[in-house]
Copies of this chain bind each other. A is one copy, B any other.
């Protein structure tokens, strides 16, 4: 029931986004369609044959033991090793540190496959990639050589240690201490929600830990970042003593159960040895530098889980017989029932809109980094605008799509053995971690819209307008009305915050509609070439129309909410609830 959707990814890269969007960047000049195809085929094979088959068994969960060790589900360690051996862990890492330095679009496309195959497992890959990215950007050359290479080779893994029980969204409240001692610091404190904080899949674990030095200023200005390896590393790169960090429990979660979410206790004895990254009190900047990467990665997870839920539902709908569909014949599978087709088609329509949107975001990230001059800065602006939209909208929709996938199964969808419910449970984390949808929406509203007085958003809207057909033009006009409303000055900061999530969702549905239309035009353009299966192209055109009729009308509804909705929220008084 797993399908990596390699063909659709290939179509999106080649005909919707276009190879030239990354091959004209110097480091990627040698990439062509064949290389991309080869990368995608290899990844799809690994995802399908090795990673996907252990997804459902992995849902039974990782196991914590009283000595602080954690056993991951059967097959996880082997599959993670296969990712490393295939070079996938270091796919985006610089060649200097053992990586392949591939374009972001291929990193995103293959990442989609790992997470749709098995999100519980692939989270370890995601965190390790994130840590590599953070260290490449901010660590010293010595730190990079010591820690990045073994991670890029898939021998070590990485974790992010931000959250404490009193400090979730609010990092200012972090209390973990880092006391200098010689060339290192002694770290003590408790961190929670640490994904793969302890496990049995790698030789070593590199924890990146936010903590405060003794004389640090209060709040976010006093946060520093430390590398705290599970095993200390000798001069020659071999492993030394166990550091003073212990997994004291793992969480009992709604989903992603294969992935152990650890409570880590640092410094139970004399203090865990940690190495400062960058300078003291620069922790928040370092974290911000990697945030785009991490949030974009979670947006991809939304696409992944939506895709997984879709193929699960499709397979069931093609197999299950129940009643004779209207206009059908006895023995027809339930896919012939109009509402089952509606569910599948609307799921698929949004997935086909999400996929090029994610790949467009990847290209924007690359060009914002590697392009030159004005184009570079304009792509950087676009990438920064797209990240909260991709993270927020795609994860919110992935949950709706996974729920529709359950619905296609009828009563069987509620039975855990069927597997559909797992995708729903797994999807539910996506709108929460790496910044909730509200955090993405605040970023979009305040940093990405109000700060530049709407310039970046208006440029996006103008780009969409150039491509729009009549239906999409209506949505463009709604978006413009909304932007004018936000910018006109009558909104208080609280007003703006109260409508920021609907605003994010509006821009999500709009940019999704843009991509759906691009899909349609690309499919029409390919119909004469004969390269693609005729039914594949017909389905793509139909799914674009489904998006226009079933998803795009949300833009108008959200516009109404944004124009009229802040007053009613702001009229509420929290004290009323005590009565």
Interface SS majority for chain A: helix
Q: CA separation between A438 and B344, bound complex, in Å?
A: 13
Q: CA separation between A542 and B539, bound complex, in Å?
A: 45
Cβ–Cβ contact B553 & A327, under 8 A? no
Instruction: Return the CB mask of A244-265 against B: 1 if under 8 Å, else 0.
Output: 0000000111110000000000
Q: CA separation between A462 and B446, bound complex, in Å?
A: 44
Q: CA separation between A501 and B499, bound complex, in Å?
A: 28
Question: Which of B326, B340, B502, B568 has a CB less than 8 Å from the CB of A548?
Answer: B568
On whether A428 and B410 interact (CB within 8 A), knowing A169-B322, A535-B576, the answer reads no
The answer to whether A20 has its CB under 8 Å from any CB of chain B is: no
Q: CA separation between A341 and B407, bound complex, in Å?
A: 30
Question: Which of B323, B421, B432 has a CB less than 8 Å from the CB of A411?
Answer: B432
The answer to whether A23 has its CB under 8 Å from any CB of chain B is: no
Q: How close is A574's CB to chain B, nearest CB, in angstroms? A: 5
Question: Which of B338, B500, B573 has a CB less than 8 Å from the CB of A339?
Answer: B500
On whether A538 and B251 interact (CB within 8 A), knowing A428-B406, A433-B411, the answer reads no
Cβ–Cβ contact B251 & A415, under 8 A? yes
Which residues on B sit within 8 Å (CB–CB) of A254? 406, 414-416, 421, 424-425
Which residues on B sit within 8 Å (CB–CB) of A531? none
Question: Which of B323, B553, B570 has a CB less than 8 Å from the CB of A558?
Answer: B553
The answer to whether A29 has its CB under 8 Å from any CB of chain B is: no
The answer to whether A431 has its CB under 8 Å from any CB of chain B is: yes
Question: Which of B172, B341, B578 has a CB less than 8 Å from the CB of A498?
Answer: B341
Q: Within A258-287, which residues are at the interface with B (CB < 8 Å)?
A: none
The answer to whether A429 has its CB under 8 Å from any CB of chain B is: yes
Q: CA separation between A433 and B411, bound complex, in Å?
A: 7
Cβ–Cβ contact B549 & A561, under 8 A? yes
Cβ–Cβ contact A410 & B497, under 8 A? no
Q: CA separation between A327 and B569, bound complex, in Å?
A: 14
Q: CA separation between A548 and B568, bound complex, in Å?
A: 9
Which residues on B sit within 8 Å (CB–CB) of A578? 318
On whether A168 and B494 interact (CB within 8 A), knowing A253-B415, A345-B568, A500-B339, the answer reads no
Which residues on B sit within 8 Å (CB–CB) of A173? 322
Which residues on B sit within 8 Å (CB–CB) of A502? 550
Cβ–Cβ contact B414 & A403, under 8 A? no
The answer to whether A441 has its CB under 8 Å from any CB of chain B is: yes
Cβ–Cβ contact B568 & A550, under 8 A? yes
Cβ–Cβ contact A568 & B539, under 8 A? no
Which single residue of chain B is at the shortest CB-CB distance from A333?
Answer: B574
Q: How close is A534's CB to chain B, nearest CB, in angstroms? A: 8
Q: How close is A12's CB to chain B, nearest CB, in angstroms? A: 17
The answer to whether A238 has its CB under 8 Å from any CB of chain B is: no
Q: How close is A345's CB to chain B, nearest CB, in angstroms? A: 5
The answer to whether A413 has its CB under 8 Å from any CB of chain B is: yes
The answer to whether A399 has its CB under 8 Å from any CB of chain B is: yes
Which residues on B sit within 8 Å (CB–CB) of A168? 322, 410-411
Instruction: Return the CB mask of A565-579 against B: 1 if under 8 Å, else 0.
Output: 101111111111111
The answer to whether A152 has its CB under 8 Å from any CB of chain B is: no
Q: Within A332-349, which residues are at the interface with B (CB < 8 Å)?
A: 333, 335-342, 345
The answer to whether A564 has its CB under 8 Å from any CB of chain B is: yes
Cβ–Cβ contact A322 & B170, under 8 A? yes
Cβ–Cβ contact B339 & A438, under 8 A? yes
Q: CA separation between A432 and B578, bound complex, in Å?
A: 36
Cβ–Cβ contact A577 & B335, under 8 A? yes
Cβ–Cβ contact A341 & B546, under 8 A? no
The answer to whether A28 has its CB under 8 Å from any CB of chain B is: no
Which residues on B sit within 8 Å (CB–CB) of A322? 168-170, 173
On whether A565 and B550 interact (CB within 8 A), knowing A323-B170, A570-B338, the answer reads yes
Which single residue of chain B is at the shortest CB-CB distance from A346?
Answer: B569
The answer to whether A480 has its CB under 8 Å from any CB of chain B is: no
Q: How close is A57's CB to chain B, nearest CB, in angstroms? A: 14
Cβ–Cβ contact A252 & B538, under 8 A? no
Question: Which of B327, B421, B432 has a CB less than 8 Å from the CB of A410?
Answer: B432
Q: CA separation between A498 and B501, bound complex, in Å?
A: 30
Q: How close is A458's CB to chain B, nearest CB, in angstroms? A: 24
Q: CA separation between A561 and B553, bound complex, in Å?
A: 7
The answer to whether A437 has its CB under 8 Å from any CB of chain B is: yes
The answer to whether A314 has its CB under 8 Å from any CB of chain B is: yes
Chain A to chain B: the 7 pairs with minimum beta-carbon distance, closest first: A557-B557, A170-B323, A338-B497, A339-B438, A553-B560, A549-B565, A545-B568
In the assembled complex, 13 residue pairs joining A and B whose CB atoms fall closer than 8 Å, in A order, are A166-B321, A169-B410, A254-B406, A318-B574, A335-B574, A338-B495, A340-B438, A406-B428, A407-B437, A535-B573, A545-B571, A550-B561, A556-B556
Chain A residues at the B interface, C-beta cutoff of 8 Å:
163, 166, 168-170, 172-173, 193, 251-255, 314, 318, 321-323, 326-327, 333, 335-342, 345, 399, 403, 406-407, 410-411, 413-417, 421, 424-425, 428-429, 431-433, 436-438, 441-442, 492-495, 497-502, 533, 535-536, 538-539, 542, 545-546, 548-550, 553-554, 556-558, 560-561, 564-565, 567-579
Could you list 18 further interchain pairs (A-B, Cβ under 8 angstroms) beyond the known A254-B424, A414-B433?
A172-B323, A173-B322, A252-B415, A254-B406, A327-B492, A335-B574, A338-B495, A338-B570, A341-B498, A407-B431, A413-B432, A414-B429, A535-B573, A538-B573, A539-B577, A539-B579, A542-B576, A545-B568
